[in-house]
Amino acid sequence: MFKISDYLKEENIIMELSSTNKKDAIKELASLLKNAPQIEDFNKFLEDVFQREELGTTGIGQGVALPHARSEVVKNFVICFGRSKKGIDFEALDEEPVHLIFLIGNPKEDVENYLKTLAHLSRLLKKEKFRTSLMEAKNPQEIIEIFRLQEQ
């Protein structure tokens, strides 16, 4: 089974985002992937993420946002995570501020994995206890461990 914990890396986790708005938060998270081997053209990837965001917010509610893009410049699945204790206005469906943001890049042609990943992540994030643990984690290792335990 596909596991987020296999792809989430410590260097791709921001424990406290400095951004205060949606656009800056996406850029701040994306900056972690600037030299990622999975992405051939960083600027095009970022453009694709913002284009997807224009179709409708990826703020799915309950303090969670999943900005993402299927892009021809992404060679392999990549994910990064950022947290905001204060919360960011992400134009979320429930109009609540977002605290947990997962930025996802996926190869354009790999629709099946892409949809499975979003569904898997959404299922995990529906659990209040899981979201609370992510909010309370002290460091990137803990974030990854929380996923590992849930995905066993």
Q: Please identify every residue annotated as catalytic.
A: 68
Q: Are 107 and 75 in contact (CB under 8 A)?
A: yes
82 forms bridges with which residues in the sheet?
Answer: 14, 101
H-state helical runs in the chain: 22-30, 42-55, 111-126, 128-136, 140-150
Q: Which residue has the tokens 């792809």?
A: 7
Rounded Cα distance, 106 and 128, in Å? 27
Token readout for 142 is 């803990």
